[in-house]
Chain A
Amino acid sequence: MNRIDTLPPEIELAQLLQKCAAQDTAAFRTLYDKTSPIVFARLLRMLRRRSVAEEVLQDVYVRIWQRASQFEAHRGRALAWMVTIARYCAIDLMRRERMTLVSDDSLGEIADDSATEDGGLEKPNNFDYCIEQLNDNTRKCLTLAFVEGRSHDEIARLTTNPLGSVKSWIRRGLLALKECLSTERQAT
């Protein structure tokens, strides 16, 4: 397999996960082939270093295999579930290693990871509207934390804002986002 034109359908991934739960190694290989380029891209975005991201990618798929039976097809989306496992693995590594996310030589190879036209993970209803309601600083802080795995300290340094402000924007931003999504959900 050399390229992925579109994201694999959710239903197919959910079925593959079910087979993994029954110890079907061929299904696991298929699942890996279909999803690892997306998960790897996500890890690179957070961890920056290719060699580190490769190691964490192994841990991610070990967990996916071990936890496949925990995936609740009726609740969640398979790819989002796997990406969440990847994010937590990356954060765990940063926590263990007290890793500081500094740029290195491998940054160049991921600098152009621009958005694709279609695909991507499904957003909650009205998410775009709700995120637009936040001020620029807050939106930037939330994005740096979630997408790049930056800590409060790193965000303060990167955005040259006081740490207290960053913490406060994040706290208030999360509350505002929750409130907006819940209101919009009720309205729809």
Chain B
Amino acid sequence: MKSANRELVDRLAAEYVLGTLRHRARRRFERWLLSPQVGALVKAWEERLAGLEPQLLPVFPPATVWRGIENKLELRKLQRRPVMRWVAIAASLVFFAVVGVFVTRGPEQPQLASTQQSFLEADPQTIYWRVEVLGDNQEISLHVQNVHDLPPGKAHELWALPEGGGAPVSLGLMPHTGDHHRVLNAAQRAALANSKQIAVSLEPEGGSPTGAPTGPVLLVAPLKAV
């Protein structure tokens, strides 16, 4: 990051943490949080401004709040059979890690159901790509709706954004015409299972050389259950 840029980003990071960065500016800045450098600036400000935290008398929330959390996270299901759940997760991971590598989809294979979808758009009238997640994050379908500008020597790359600011995981390059289908590997599936958003960044031709987004993040969109 150039020093002038760094100063500007640091100022924005400060106001992001303070809470005075609002509305569109806040949303735009949140896209930059994908960058480890920006993330580090934000963390530093969080540590600095923690000194402003007031010491408050505890206030007990009503029991309805916990019940709401339980329902949203379906915690009771997890409580019921925790061991079986881990066995199921481990078994499915092993299965996909071993088998997924050798699978090539042919026409005879049953089509997986679409489970999630996402619209990568500038606004609701300008959708560039529709992304479908098929099955249990096993495959994705990419549908070009409008062609996004692409400078020469560049590529658009798709990323899964794990919840909580974990490192983005590449889901491959984006097509610019037609419909495309892609089988994901184990790492991509694991990342997607933990993501509620995907993003497209501008990268050098052939994709990011580092495995992390290196160019600007152009579009971010939520994954929604179908």
A-to-B contact residues, CB < 8 Å: 2-4, 23, 25-26, 28-29, 32, 36-38, 40-42, 44-45, 54-55, 57-58, 61-63, 65-67, 69-70, 75, 77, 80, 83-84, 87, 91, 94-95, 110, 112-116, 119-124, 127-128, 131, 142-143, 145-147, 149, 151-152, 170-171, 174, 177-178, 181
Contacts and interface: CB of A to CB of B under 8 A. Distances in A.
B165 interface: yes
A170 B164 contact: no
Contacts of A75: 43
B28 to A, nearest CB: 12
A113 B53 contact: no
Contact of B46 (A28, A41, A84, A149): A84
B56 interface: yes
Interface string B62-103: 101110110011010011001001100000000000000000
Given A23-B86, A25-B79, A127-B48, 5 more contacts: A54-B65, A114-B57, A123-B50, A123-B51, A177-B48
B75 A95 contact: no
Nearest to A119: B55
Interface of B: 11, 14-15, 18-20, 22-23, 26-27, 43, 46-62, 64-66, 68-69, 72-73, 75, 78-79, 82, 85-86, 163-166
B222 to A, nearest CB: 14
A165 B56 CA distance: 30
Q: Chain B's interface: helix, strand, loop or mixed, by majority?
A: helix
Q: Is the interface of A mostly helix, strand, loop or mixed?
A: helix
Contact of B56 (A41, A77, A128, A143): A41
A174 B19 contact: no
With a 10 A CB-CB cut-off, give which of A54, A95, A171 has the most chain B CB atoms: A95
B53 A54 contact: no
A124 B61 CA distance: 29
Contacts of B14: 174, 178
Contact of B47 (A36, A55, A66, A124): A124
Contacts of A110: 59
Given A37-B58, A38-B58, A70-B164, A83 B73 contact: no
Given A70-B166, A146-B19, A37 B50 contact: no
Nearest to B79: A25
A146 B52 contact: yes
B164 A67 contact: yes
A149 B19 contact: yes
Which of B58, B64, B75 has the most chain A CB within a 10 Å cutoff?
A: B58
Nearest to B7: A175
A38 B56 contact: yes
27 contacts: A4-B58, A23-B78, A32-B66, A36-B61, A36-B66, A41-B58, A54-B61, A54-B62, A58-B65, A58-B68, A63-B163, A67-B164, A84-B46, A91-B26, A95-B27, A110-B59, A115-B54, A116-B56, A121-B50, A124-B47, A131-B51, A145-B18, A145-B19, A145-B20, A147-B54, A174-B18, A181-B48
A127 B50 CA distance: 9
Nearest to B49: A146
B59 to A, nearest CB: 4
A61 B69 contact: yes
A178 B48 contact: yes
Most B CB within 10 A of own CB, among A75, A77, A84: A84
Of listed A25, A83, A119, A131, residue having the most chain B CB within 10 A: A25
Contacts of B165: 67, 70
A113 B56 contact: yes
